[in-house]
Amino acid sequence: MRFASRLAWLVLAASIAGCSSAADQSRSSKASNPPVTTAASSQTITVQKLILVDKDGKERAELGVVPGGAGLALTDANGKARGAFVVTDDGSPGLTLYDADGVARATIQVSNNGESGVSLYDDTGIHRLSAIVNANGAAGVVFYDKTGKQIAAAPVISHRPSQKPSKPSSK
């Protein structure tokens, strides 16, 4: 499983000189490695991507910095994407939660223009509901039908949903 192929915001990252053999050993070894003790202030590791594996060497989390932003992706024990937290270069954070099939079901966004919102999606990834607070503090709820077409809003506000979150590809 490769997060970089599953989530668009996590792409190719630089190799870590001097750490690759330790990472390879960690991934191929089924036994736990003895802990390494270092003084917290004596070492700094600088990387563009950090992959965390479980005791069996399965990738479970990836922290990365790519053009456009930085993020953290988390998977379940079966390798399915379950959560992603991203902060774009302009500072806008977003959280996406996926169901057991890897379909995005909920997002939370905060934009630099003062808007914030929560969106919910059905089991096929179609946008079904948004709760929005705009920069002026006005709040609204928008409902969508099974095709993603807006069918009701309370109060009526002008809102265009962002594209539905992309479903992670399985590679």
Per-residue pLDDT of the chain (171 residues; tens, 9 = 90+): 343 333 333 322 222 222 332 333 333 333 444 454 555 566 788 889 999 999 999 999 999 998 899 999 999 999 999 999 999 999 999 999 999 999 999 999 999 988 999 999 999 999 999 999 998 888 999 999 999 999 999 985 555 555 555 555 444
Burial pattern 57-83, b for ≥16 Cβ within 10 A else e, equals eebbebbbbbeebbbbbbbeeebbbbe
pTM passes above 0.75? no
Structure tokens at 54: 């479980």
What whole-number distance in Å separates Cα of residue 72 and Cα of residue 86? 6
What whole-number distance in Å separates Cα of residue 117 and Cα of residue 161? 10
Structure tokens at 167: 């479903």
Q: Does residue 84 sit in helix, strand or coil?
A: strand
What whole-number distance in Å separates Cα of residue 57 and Cα of residue 29? 7
